Amino acid sequence: MPADPPGFELPLRLFLGFRMLIDELHVELARQGHPDMRPMHGFVLQAIGPEGTTAVELGRRLGVSKQAAGKTVDTLEHLGYVERRSDPGDARRKIVRLTERGVDSLARSARIFEDLRAGWARTLGEDRLRALESDLRAMTAGDVFRLDVPGWFGGY
Amino acid sequence: MPADPPGFELPLRLFLGFRMLIDELHVELARQGHPDMRPMHGFVLQAIGPEGTTAVELGRRLGVSKQAAGKTVDTLEHLGYVERRSDPGDARRKIVRLTERGVDSLARSARIFEDLRAGWARTLGEDRLRALESDLRAMTAGDVFRLDVPGWFGGY
DNA sequence: TAAGCTCGACAACACCATTGTCGAAACAGT
DNA sequence: ACTGTTTCGACAATGGTGTTGTCGAGCTTA
């Protein structure tokens, strides 16, 4: 009977799978008119959501400071994915909203992810893929957002 | 018949699984006398390997500049995980080698990863876990190292 | 009204990656 | 052996990203 795979293979493969999907997503996104999207942008746009949000709240969701969130919003605003509007009900707040272009990028991302998933299903079979998703869901239940990735992995 | 899971769930769960394992590893590593290890350090120590290597070669393996690799080596040297020695056969080279402490951290990491994998096996069953690993292996075949993570995800 | 909190902006700082340059050493071709 | 090219490690300069701290303006509540 074969020995168990070494323990370090599991996290490595999980990361490689993630990275492969994200890279393929962005290759295709670039082809479809969004060449400036960075991996993190999609997560930020998702975190902003259809209702819009503020820099402080966005920072909380992403696990970074409000200044960092504001900086990211600056970039996304400059790229045309979001816009800032004054909140008529609270003069302190400036609500960050998705533009049409921002919504388009999310819609295309969703479509591309479906296609990529279908590719996995062709290789693995739908049953195996569902089992894989189900098992991952079982092991990672909980907080889907928590994207304090900037600075999490790196760091001297 | 149930609808397919949305396509974006797969990459998200892959990342969450990776992150959960890495976080649990470092909690346990800290308990076992390595509180200063950062997620990236383990990968760097693995990339250095038992034979040692140079800053330039390390940078190539990790996909970063030689300067960045050198900086990381500085930190690991300061923490006592590696040491630099002059190459007697080539006066230009300074070979980075693991110290005893560096080897110890890798040995403990391997053991902890085995334990974490065993935890997954208890929840999912050994068969399902093997299937999961096998499927991930099938989808991500290839270059296991290529950790140009610094700057890959982030970026304004 | 007054005190306290929240929001967004600005400044200063730290960290980490980059490119470019340089001298020393090894190597390859003549 | 000499010379030109390549490789290595160090240094300097730069840019991007995140942090804390501070401030004024505006809500909120006692």
Chain B residues whose CB is inside 8 A of the A19 CB are: 152
Total domain count, chain B: 1
Residue A19: exposed, middle, or buried by beta-carbon count in 10 A (0-12, 13-18, 19+)? buried
A75 touches strand D (CB under 7 A): yes
The nearest alpha carbon in chain B to A112 belongs to B7
The verdict on a CB contact (< 8 Å) between A110 and B72 is: no
Average pLDDT over residues B10-23: 92
What is the C-alpha end-to-end distance of chain B, expressed in Å?
42
The verdict on a CB contact (< 8 Å) between B14 and A136 is: yes
CA distances from A90 to A48, A50, A85, A87, B103 (A): 19, 19, 11, 5, 57
Least confident of A119-128, B5-14, B16-25, B63-72: B5-14
| Structural contact between residues B47 and B147, judged by C-beta atoms closer than 8 angstroms | yes
| Structural contact between residues A7 and A60, judged by C-beta atoms closer than 8 angstroms | no
Is B1 a domain residue? no
Q: What is the CATH number of the domain that holds A55?
A: 1.10.10.10
Residue B155, pLDDT > 80, answer no
B90 touches strand C (CB under 7 A): yes
Q: Classify B92 as helix, strand or coil.
A: strand
Is A44 a domain residue? yes
A92 touches strand C (CB under 7 A): yes
Q: From the list A39, A74, A114, which residue is nearest B7 (CB)?
A: A114
| pLDDT for res A8 | 87
| pLDDT for res A1 | 58
The verdict on a CB contact (< 8 Å) between A152 and B19 is: yes
| pLDDT for res B136 | 96
Is A147 a domain residue? no
Is B149 a domain residue? no
Give the 3-state DSSP-derived string for A70-83, with helices as H, strands as E and coil as C. HHHHHHHHHHCCEE
Chain B residues whose CB is inside 8 A of the A115 CB are: 7
Is B154 a domain residue? no
Q: Cα distance from B89 to chain A (closest Cα, Å)?
A: 31
Residue B147, pLDDT > 80, answer no
Is B115 a domain residue? yes
pLDDT digits (tens, 9 = 90+) for B25-66: 999 999 999 999 988 899 899 999 999 999 999 999 988 999
Question: Could you tell me the residue range of the domain that residue B47 belongs to?
Answer: 10-139
Is B146 a domain residue? no
A89 touches strand C (CB under 7 A): no
**Tens digits of pLDDT across chain A (156 residues):** 556 678 889 999 999 999 899 999 999 999 999 999 988 899 899 999 999 999 999 999 988 999 999 999 999 999 999 999 999 999 999 999 999 999 999 999 999 999 999 999 999 999 999 999 999 999 997 766 666 666 677 666
Instruction: Tell me how far apart the alpha carbons of residues A22 and B149 are, in angstroms, rounded to a whole number.
Output: 13
Is A81 a domain residue? yes
Average pLDDT over residues B118-138: 97
